[in-house]
């Protein structure tokens, strides 16, 4: 990295001029309502892909992260989807744990979700898959005969074949498609402050209830 680029990066603003107010003492007793409130605020603020989350997993190859789309949040957990034969799918099936990270820079907010992973039943996974656009379903149906793609022509042919399968059978669902729920043991809410005295509130599960804890910035 050049000195000029390094200086330019340091000069970039980290947060918007105005930040929302967050009062941890007024937070609800459980994390889901607060998360949904923050998600709705991100939607209203025009944050691009506010439902995108970084999914972190660990396997024999080490830690790995990728961005996925949040499908639902309720008392059963934070729902995401990825095939069971993908790297994160294999990692979650083997370890039984995962973490999600949400970042909404326009509001200076982050949310971290960590906990156990449970796979939803086949009917729920099928409903999720069939709700996807046709092009997305075709992409998910493309076979992967080897880890490394030989070239664009190979992929184009495989995708065209998958699109034909989707059009011929609109109800087709690959057996590998999986819907996963991260059932949190901790959920942390982070609100930025211009003076860097950031606010951190963590919910920690204790049995059937939640403990709320303020964390050091």
Specify if 77 maps to a domain. Answer: yes
- 87 belongs to an annotated ligand binding site: yes
The answer to the question of whether 5 is labelled as a binding residue is: no
Same domain, 157 and 64: no
- 203 and 98, same domain (yes or no): yes
Q: What distance in Å separates the CA atoms of residue 82 and residue 89, rounded to the nearest whole number? A: 6
- Asked whether residue 20 is assigned to any structural domain, the reply reads no
> CA 115, CA 108: separation in Å to the nearest integer?
24
| 109 appears as a binding residue in the annotation | no
- Asked whether the predicted pLDDT for residue 145 surpasses 70, the reply is no
DSSP string, 137-171: HHHHH---SSSS---HHHHHHHHHHHHHHHHH-TT
**Greatest Cα pair distance in the chain:** 59
Looking at residues 159-187, what average pLDDT do you find? 93
Query: Residue 16 domain-assigned?
Result: no
pLDDT at 63 (0 to 100): 95
Which tens digits make up the pLDDT trace of 124-135?
Answer: 999 999 999 999
69 assigned binding-site residue:
yes
Domain, as residue range, for 40: 25-120+178-217
Answer left, alpha or beta for residue 207, where phi above 0 means left and psi between -120 and 50 means alpha: left
- DSSP letters for 39-99: HHHHHHTT-SSTTEEEEEEEETTEEEEEEEE--EEETTEEEEE--TTSHHHHHHHHH-EEE
What rounded mean pLDDT belongs to the chain?
94
Quote the pLDDT of residue 151: 85
What mean pLDDT is predicted for residues 84-110? 96
> pLDDT digits over 12-21, tens only?
988 999 999 9
Does the structure show a pLDDT above 80 at 143? no
pLDDT at position 150: 81
Q: How many domains does the chain have?
A: 2
Does 70 appear as a known binding residue?
yes
The answer to whether 114 and 99 are in contact (CB under 8 A) is: yes
Distance of alpha carbon 47 from alpha carbon 103, whole angstroms: 10
For residue 141, name the pLDDT band (cuts at 50, 70, 90).
confident
DSSP three-state, residue 111: strand
Residue 17 in any domain: the answer is: no
Same domain? For 81 and 152 the reply is no
Smallest CA-to-CA distance from 80 within 107, 53, 43 is with: 53
Question: How do residues 33-54 score in pLDDT, each as one tens digit?
Answer: 999 999 999 999 999 999 999 9
d(CA 173, CA 146): 21
Look at residue 152 in the predicted model and tell me its pLDDT. Answer: 87
pTM: 0.93
d(C-alpha 130, C-alpha 136), whole Å: 10
Tell whether 66 is in a known binding site. yes
Would residue 12 count as lying in a domain?
no
pLDDT given for residue 49 in this prediction: 97
């Amino acid at each position: 990295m050049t000195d000029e680029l390094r200086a330019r990066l340091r000069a970039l603003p980290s947060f918007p001029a105005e930040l929302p107010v967050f009062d941890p003492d007024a937070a609800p007793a459980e994390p889901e309502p607060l998360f949904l409130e923050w998600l709705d605020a991100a939607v209203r603020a025009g944050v691009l892909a506010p439902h995108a989350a970084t999914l972190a997993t660990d396997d024999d190859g080490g830690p790995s992260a990728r961005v996925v789309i949040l499908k639902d949040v309720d008392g059963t957990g934070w729902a995401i989807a990825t095939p069971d034969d993908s790297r994160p799918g294999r990692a979650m099936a083997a370890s039984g744990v995962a973490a999600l990270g949400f970042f909404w820079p326009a509001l200076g907010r982050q949310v971290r979700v960590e906990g156990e992973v449970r796979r939803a039943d086949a009917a729920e996974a099928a409903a999720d898959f069939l709700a996807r656009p046709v092009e997305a379903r075709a992409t998910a149906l493309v076979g992967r005969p080897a880890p490394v793609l030989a070239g664009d022509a190979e992929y184009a042919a495989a995708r065209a074949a998958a699109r034909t399968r989707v059009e011929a059978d609109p109800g087709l669902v690959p057996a590998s498609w999986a819907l996963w729920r991260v059932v949190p043991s901790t959920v942390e809410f982070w609100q930025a402050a211009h003076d860097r005295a950031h606010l951190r509130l963590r919910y920690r599960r204790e049995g059937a209830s939640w403990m709320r804890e303020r964390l050091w910035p």
